[in-house]
A and B are shown apart, each in its own frame.
Chain A
Amino acid sequence: MRVWLGLAAILLLAMVVAACAGHAWASPADLWRALAGDAALRSRLLVEWRLPRVVAAAFVGALLGLGGTIYQGVFRNPLAEPYLLGSAGGAALGATVALLVPLALPQSWLLPLLAFAGAWGATLLVIGISRVAGAVDAAGLLLAGVAVAAILGALRSFLMLALSDETVSLQVVLSWVLGGIQTPTWAGIGWLALIATGCVGLSLGLARRLDVLGLGEAMAIAFGLEVRRFVMLAVLAGSVIVAAAVAYGGLVAFVGLAAPHVARWLVGPLHRPLLPASALVGAIVVVVADAIARSALPPAEIPLGLVTAVAGGPFFIALLARRLRS
C-alpha cells in the first residue's frame, strides 16, 4: 500500500512541477489562478496548452509502461520493448504520410489515426508473416518484426526524400519520430482517458495468464494454457496499447523498456500489481522527461525521445548496478 501511495504522490508532484515548467516558469499560484478562470494570455496558455500536454504525457507514459510489461511477459525477455514488433516503423510510416501528404482530413485527426493504423497494422503484418512462415513462436515473431521494421523504415525514408520541399519540412517528421507529446484539447483528453482505462482493463485481463507463461512454456501447457493462442492474443493486445501511446506521443524511446523493470523492483514479478505499477512509473518518467524537453533549452524544445534516452538511460543503468550489487 505504501508503494502505491508513494507512486501516486510522486506522479501528482511530477505533474504539478511539469505544469509549472516551461520556457517561462509558472508558480503553483499562477497555476491556481489560471485554473480559477483568469483571462490573461498566460493563464489561458497554462490551461489550454500546458496542462493538457502534461496530462497527455502521463497517459502516454502509462500506456508505454503497460505495453512494455506485456511484451516482456510474452517474450519472457527483459530486453523486450514495446516497439519490438514493427509498431515503431509502422507508426512512423503512418505519421510521415499524415505529415507530408496533403489529405482531406485535418492533420490533428490524421496524425494520431494514421500513426495508430501504422503501428497496429505493422504488428498484424508481423504476426501474419510469422504464421505464413510457420514460425509462430517468439523467435519467429521477433525475426519477422526485424524484417518488417527494416522495410517500413526504408519506405519512410523514401517518402521523406520524395515528398518534402520548402514548405513541408523534414524536421517535422524527424521530431515526431524522436518523440513528442501531442497536446489534445480537453475533449481529446477525455477520449485519451477512456482509451487508457480500457487498456488497463485489457492488460489486467491478461495478468494471470502472463504469470503462468512466466513459469516456462512446458509448465504453462501443464497448467492448461494454450500457449500459442495466448501469445498471439497478448501480442495483439499489447500492440493496440502501444499504438495508442504512439498516436499521442510519437516514438518515446526507452520508457517501455525501463518502466517494467523499475516496477518489478517495487512490487515484484506478479502481473496483477506489476501492470498498474509499470503504468504509474511510465507516467512519472514521461511527465518529468517531457517537462525537461519543454524547458531545458529555451527557446527550443528538445524531442522527448532524446530526453528519455539520454537522461533515462544513465539513471536506469545506475539503478540496475545498485540492484545487481546488493
Chain B
Amino acid sequence: MDAKLVNPFISATVKVLETMAGITAKPGQPYLKKDNIAQGDVTGIIGITGEANGTISVTFDQGSILGIVTKMFGEDITEMNPEVADAVGELTNMISGQARRKLEEEGRRFEAAIPSVVTGKNHQITHFTSGPVIAVPFATAGGAFTIEICFEK
C-alpha cells in the first residue's frame, strides 16, 4: 500500500474534529493491524474508489465520541444512541472528503460511497479489500479513537 495515502487521512481527522467540535486530537504512531476487531465501541466505515480501491474506518471509544458529539451539538450527550451513531457516520464522511481533497491537490482523484456505522463492544471491521490495514491511534481529552486505512495497492 502506498504510504502517502495515510497522511492525508491523519491530517483530515485532526482538522475535522478541530473545526466541527473544537476538539484537539493527537495522533500516535501508525501500526500494521493484524486482526479485524475494533479498538472501540462504534465504527464508521466508508468505501473509497479511484486510482486505488479501499476503505477507511474510524473507531471511537465511548468517552471520546460522547465528548466529541457533546461539543458538536453544544449540549450534553451522555449515552450511546442512534444520534451518536449518525454523528460517527457524518464524521467519517467529512474525514474522507477532507482527505480526498488533499489527495486531489496532489493530482490523485478518489471518490467515496455513503458511510455505514457498526456499534457494540468488540465488533468487527470488514475492509472491502485485502490490502494491509494501517491503524493510527488518536488521543483526545475524553478518550481514544483509531482510524484504519486499507487500500489494495
Q: Please say whether chains A and B are actual partners in one complex.
A: no
Interface of B toward A, CB cutoff 8 Å: none
Interface of A toward B, CB cutoff 8 Å: none
